[in-house]
Amino acid sequence: MLYTHLNRVIRRRDLNMMYVIGPGHGGPAIAANTWLEGSYSDLYPAVSRDTAGMARLFRQFSFPGGIPSHVAPELPGSIHEGGELGYSLSHAYGAVLDNPDLVVACVIGDGEAETGPLATSWHSNKFLDPATDGAVLPILHLNGYKIANPAVLARIGDDELTQLLEGYGYRPYLVDGAEPEHVHQALALTLDRVLDDITAIQTEARAGHAVPRRPWPMIVLRTPKGWTGPREVGGVPVEGTWRAHQVPLAGVRTSPEHLRMLEDWLRSYHPEELFDAEGRPVARLLQQVPARRMGSNPHSNGGLLRRDLELPAVAEYAVPVEGPGLSEHEPTRVLGYYLRDVMRAAAPYRNFRVFGPDETASNRLDALYDVTGKAWNAEVLPTDEHLAIDGRVMEILSEHTCQGWLEGYLLTGRHGWFSCYEAFVHIVDSMVNQHAKWLKVTRALPWRRPIASLNYLLTSHVWRQDHNGFSHQDPGFIDHVVNKKAEVIRVYLPPDTNTLLATADHCLRSTDYINVIVAGKQPQADWLAPEEAALHCARGIGVWEFASNDGGVPDVVMGCAGDVPTLETLAAVSLLREHLPTLKIRVVNVVDLMRLQPASEHPHGLPDADFDALFTTDRPVIFAYHGYPWLIHRLTYRRANHDNLHVRGYKEEGTTTTPFDMVVRNDLDRYHLALDVIDRVPGLAQRAADVRQWLVDQRARHHEYILEHGEDLPEVRNWQWRAS
């Protein structure tokens, strides 16, 4: 019903409209309507607009390998994976950003409306610029029930509901009824009104004067669940109750009565009046189809519209490096200069935004504010800074909303960047799952053109929560994404400023991936000069010659991935080379974590011969890793030298403490790494008993010192790389 009514207003107003379906099992609505309008057959010619095609359409529904009952990538016109609930409205808002002519009609189920992500995404209207962005028309569908329960918003009365929606900043129009003809009339009238309201708001905003935020119109549609379906089945009411959920007639295969009821139900729509003898929709129906069909709106297949970013040359932002460890920079701050100019270059095309839960400045990307503001369409005080109604940095303290906006923005053909505290990106674990599934499915759908990758910058990471402590320490998002299909996942751990820049450049050029970059925001040593960094990132993994003295045949390999593990590894190497100068050490740094996997498991996987050339087949490997250590085992268990691999990483030991104490608590510190080397290289523990004891003593000294001074040992704080 909604699709048909929207078609009417599209025709009448020549609207550029998309449709987002939030309610669970909402797939049939868009499958059927895009078939009726012809969009479906355009993309899937075998599902033709005739009896044979109709049979295929029906049969593939919920059939093995067919299409699911939820909105999904296979469906024309959809940018929304509808299986998990809660994201329809943030997807819709993401789609209209920078699309001033687009209107997204977004149906929200009253079940979905109970989810947290949906409940806060109503506030997206405070981040929308009516002049430069399009409009979202929320249609809250109160059919009253979820799977087995009434829905909260359907049972709080019209007064409370109206207050709630007005409080969210909307003007709700109620369309309520159980008698189809009445509802049709009321809905048509209401749609005209809300579209007039939208036009009025946009016209006012686009007249060139600053105007205060207006309430946006929305529709509350209250109709029975299972409306026009069977009223009663087996003596209990079905229409208008939760029993209409999903399968109102469960016994059609075995019960002649159910089969008859199904037939009566379907015949009640008078198909003989709707289709001709060949199963084609009759002319009267086809005349309702607008030229601008929602199932063929190019925004819903965003890759069609995607325009590559014009990226500035990384070299211009790279920091000069006189030698390893001789200078320090804050990697994310330097990245901020680069992102600022990405933003500047994208300004004419308005196709790049940066998203974050109130952390863009905390994550030191604030150079962005030289060229744009933070989107804000609510009250502004004189002391505020960097707020702008058309700002292109999107900050709301809701990771869910940031993620939903960004997904909607990417799926409609634009580019984005999401920076987030590492521990709290887990808040969107489940949303990431759905986006990864979307990307996986679209790889088998040639008509879905590639969209820009979803780029995460995880900073304020596990090792530097000096004052926030244990609650802010969790590096497990990497583990989470690595479970997704290998072809859509990339994970990068740039160890310094120049490698972060090279990684960012690479990610912003890529499509159809989920890129996870973990990088620090605190001042830290520069290891690689710009051209070295570019080469290292292109390889993704490599020997660091400046730190190695193995001459091709190491006694031990020291692997490292992540900024803090790299620092501790180099400090351990420095200690070892000072105290045990004849020990032959090779340092291997990993930027692209997927290089560790076999080539059979991941497109970036290193061939076994290359892996063995780096890590040997028989020497001990001490690997210092940013996250949970077992991930490294998981990635490498098929490698020849796996039995000699010894991994240190975060083992969930944390508290409010200094940077070095954190690594000590997790046995990732330089002294412990050096001890690991001494204990793993055959015979060394005997030969180097004095060095071993000194390292043990250093750890004990650290414990005493920190308790007394509340800061790390001076030799740790002031440490600088020396290859002895």
User: How near is the Cβ of 703 to a second copy at its closest, in Å?
Assistant: 10
The C-alpha atoms of residue 619 and residue 682 are separated, in whole angstroms, by 10
Give the three-class secondary structure for 15.
Answer: coil
Q: What amino acid is encoded at 496 in this protein?
A: D
User: How near is the Cβ of 660 to a second copy at its closest, in Å?
Assistant: 10
Question: 398 or 549: whose CB is closer to a second copy?
Answer: 398
User: How near is the Cβ of 353 to a second copy at its closest, in Å?
Assistant: 16
User: How near is the Cβ of 426 to a second copy at its closest, in Å?
Assistant: 4
Question: 237 or 312: whose CB is closer to a second copy?
Answer: 237
Phi, psi angles (nearest 5°) of residue 173: -110, 125
Retrieve residue 150's tokens. Answer: 């009434």
Question: 5 or 80: whose CB is closer to a second copy?
Answer: 80
- Bridge partners of residue 236, in order along the sequence: 233
Question: 145 or 409: whose CB is closer to a second copy?
Answer: 145
The C-alpha atoms of residue 377 and residue 680 are separated, in whole angstroms, by 60
The C-alpha atoms of residue 109 and residue 106 are separated, in whole angstroms, by 10
User: How near is the Cβ of 531 to a second copy at its closest, in Å?
Assistant: 35
- Give yes or no for a contact between 653 and 629, defined as CB atoms under 8 angstroms apart: no
| Angle at CA of residue 354, ends 353 and 358, nearest 5° | 140
User: How near is the Cβ of 371 to a second copy at its closest, in Å?
Assistant: 17
The C-alpha atoms of residue 708 and residue 717 are separated, in whole angstroms, by 16
Element (H, E) at 8: helix 2-13
The C-alpha atoms of residue 570 and residue 564 are separated, in whole angstroms, by 10
Contacts (Cβ under 8 Å, ≥6 apart) of 284: none
Question: 38 or 654: whose CB is closer to a second copy?
Answer: 654
Contacts (Cβ under 8 Å, ≥6 apart) of 3: 19, 29, 30, 33, 294
User: How near is the Cβ of 110 to a second copy at its closest, in Å?
Assistant: 9
Per-residue HEC secondary structure of 185-199 comes to HHHHHHHHHHHHHHH
Question: 418 or 544: whose CB is closer to a second copy?
Answer: 418
The C-alpha atoms of residue 417 and residue 395 are separated, in whole angstroms, by 12
The C-alpha atoms of residue 309 and residue 137 are separated, in whole angstroms, by 30
Contacts (Cβ under 8 Å, ≥6 apart) of 522: 330, 464, 659
Question: 359 or 568: whose CB is closer to a second copy?
Answer: 359
User: How near is the Cβ of 509 to a second copy at its closest, in Å?
Assistant: 25
User: How near is the Cβ of 373 to a second copy at its closest, in Å?
Assistant: 11
User: How near is the Cβ of 710 to a second copy at its closest, in Å?
Assistant: 5
Question: 73 or 413: whose CB is closer to a second copy?
Answer: 73
**Of 94, 357, 378, nearest in space to 387 by CA:** 378
- Give yes or no for a contact between 648 and 673, defined as CB atoms under 8 angstroms apart: yes
User: How near is the Cβ of 333 to a second copy at its closest, in Å?
Assistant: 15
What angle do the packed helices 563-579 and 689-709 form, to 10 degrees?
130
Question: 325 or 475: whose CB is closer to a second copy?
Answer: 475
Retrieve residue 124's tokens. Answer: 């997206």
Element (H, E) at 136: strand 135-142
Question: 228 or 468: whose CB is closer to a second copy?
Answer: 468
Question: 154 or 678: whose CB is closer to a second copy?
Answer: 154
User: How near is the Cβ of 26 to a second copy at its closest, in Å?
Assistant: 12
Question: 317 or 625: whose CB is closer to a second copy?
Answer: 625
Give the three-class secondary structure for 622.
Answer: strand
User: How near is the Cβ of 185 to a second copy at its closest, in Å?
Assistant: 26
Give the three-class secondary structure for 520.
Answer: coil
Give the three-class secondary structure for 500.
Answer: helix
Please tell me the number of Cα atoms within 13 Å of 636 on its side-chain side.
Answer: 23
Question: 232 or 278: whose CB is closer to a second copy?
Answer: 232
